[in-house]
Amino acid sequence: MDTRGYSPRVARRRPHHRPRDRSVECELKFRVDGQRDHARLRSLLRKRGAQLEGKYDEENYRFDGPGKSTRRTTLRLRVLDGGPRGVLTAKGPANFVGGVKVREETEVEVKDAHATLDLLTELGFRVAFTYKKHRAQWTMDGMVSVTLDTLEFGWFVELEGPLEVLPDAARNLGFDPKTALKDSYSVLARKHLQASTKSSRTSARSA
């Protein structure tokens, strides 16, 4: 290869790729009775000096893919606050350590979630179902994320952070880690959809 006329500095230059946000997610999720429990938790978080990071709405797209691609991986696209911005998330199979759900997670921010949705469809993925979520996100003790989530199928609180501190963080908010939910929001949404569809069919037959 003739490199005459090229600066050695340019010839050696390589594109820089931003590393993926790949991490291990440690999570405890609890179902609560309603807005009154969320209000109690907000008051308790303020007393503990927790910081409110923000509130936003999500529209979640859960995918099924070709072959074995999503059999053991949760692939989800979140559209934030109804705009173009979103987050594409892939989560691996879960393990449980003392009630804490632990699994690998890779997240990528996308500027145009709807274009990403089109791209995934072209690649053979299909939207299995969608669900909406309103989330208020807090940071407690500088290291634990606490979210108060409202979905069509209930009210929840979710804690994420280092494995070694999550159980005590949950107890400080009045929760027993042993009673944490094992199902993800995707699984809960699928169950809710199936129950709603079954109820609608039963009503239609009895009409």
Give me the domains of the chain, ranges plus CATH numbers.
Answer: 19-196 (2.40.320.10)
Question: E strands, the chain, where?
Answer: 21-32, 51-64, 74-80, 86-91, 95-97, 100-110, 126-140, 144-151, 154-160
pLDDT 10s digits, 148-176: 999 999 999 999 999 999 999 999 999 99
Q: Could you count the other beta carbons within 10 Å of the beta carbon of residue 37?
A: 17
Q: Would the pLDDT of 13 be above 70?
A: no
% pLDDT > 90, the chain: 75
Mean pLDDT confidence for 114-124: 95
User: Residue 60's pLDDT is what?
Assistant: 96
d(CA 13, CA 181): 50
SS3 call for 121: helix
pLDDT bracket for residue 18 (50, 70, 90): very low
pLDDT surpasses 50 at 14:
no
- Under the banding of pLDDT at 50, 70 and 90, the label for residue 185 is very high
